[in-house]
Amino acid sequence: MFHANVYLKGIAMLQRKILTQLTEWKTRSDRKPLVLGGARQVGKTTAVDMFSKELDNYIYLNLERAGDRNVFEDKMDVKELFQAILILKDMTLKPGNTLIFIDEIQNSPTAVKLLRFFYEEMQEVFVVGAGSLLEIMLEKENISFPVGRVEYLYMYPMTFEESLTAKGGGPALDAFCQVPVKKYAHAKLLALFHEYVLIGGMPEVVNTFLDSGNVKELDRVYEALLVSYVNDAEKYARNHTLRQVMRHAIESLPFESGRRIKFQGFGNSNYKSREVGEALRTIERAMLIYLIFPSTVTDIPIRIDYKKSPLLQFVDTGLLNYYMGLQHDFFKFRDLHSFYRGLIAEHIVRQELMAVDATKNRKHPFWVREKKQSNAEVDILLQHKNYVIPVEVKAGKTGMLRSLHAFMNRASHAYAVRLYAGELEISKVTTTQGKQYQLLNLPYYLAGRLHEYVEWFVDRSGG
Q: Could you tell me the pLDDT band of residue 254, with boundaries at 50, 70 and 90?
A: confident
DSSP 75: -
Comparing C-alpha atoms, which of 170, 172, 173, 174 is closest to residue 187?
172
Which tens digits make up the pLDDT trace of 112-163? 989 989 999 999 999 999 988 878 877 777 777 767 889 999 999 999 999 9
- Reported for 420-424, long-range contacts at CB under 8 A and 24+ positions apart, including other chains, are 420/335, 420/337, 420/393, 420/394, 420/395, 420/444, 421/190, 421/334, 421/335, 421/336, 421/337, 421/395, 423/183, 423/186, 424/180, 424/181, 424/183, 424/186
200 or 334, greater pLDDT: 200
- Looking at residue 338, its pLDDT comes to 54
Which tens digits make up the pLDDT trace of 259-285? 999 999 999 999 999 999 999 998 998
Separation between Cα atoms, residue 136 and residue 184, nearest integer Å: 48
At the fourth CATH level, the homologous superfamily of domain 17-154 is: P-loop containing nucleotide triphosphate hydrolases (3.40.50.300)
H/E run at residue 433: none
Comparing C-alpha atoms, which of 286, 266, 135 is closest to residue 225?
286
CA distance to 60, 126, 201, 298, 437, per residue, from 99 (Å)? 8, 5, 28, 46, 52
Which tens digits make up the pLDDT trace of 393-450? 986 666 578 999 999 999 999 999 999 999 999 999 999 899 999 999 999 999 999 9
- Looking at residue 1, its pLDDT comes to 39
pTM: 0.90
In the chain, where are the structural domains located? 17-154, 160-354, 374-460
User: What would the mean pLDDT of 16-37 be, rounded to a whole number?
Assistant: 94
Comparing C-alpha atoms, which of 296, 456, 463, 274 is closest to residue 386?
463
Q: Mean of the per-residue pLDDT values for the chain?
A: 89
- Looking at residue 399, its pLDDT comes to 58
Separation between Cα atoms, residue 424 and residue 308, nearest integer Å: 34
- Looking at residue 339, its pLDDT comes to 54
User: What would the mean pLDDT of 208-236 be, rounded to a whole number?
Assistant: 85
Residue 176 in this model has a pLDDT that exceeds 60: yes
Local structure of 37: helix, strand or coil: strand
For 297-321, the DSSP string reads: -SSSS--B-TTSPPEEEES-HHHHH
Q: Could you tell me the pLDDT band of residue 5, with boundaries at 50, 70 and 90?
A: very low
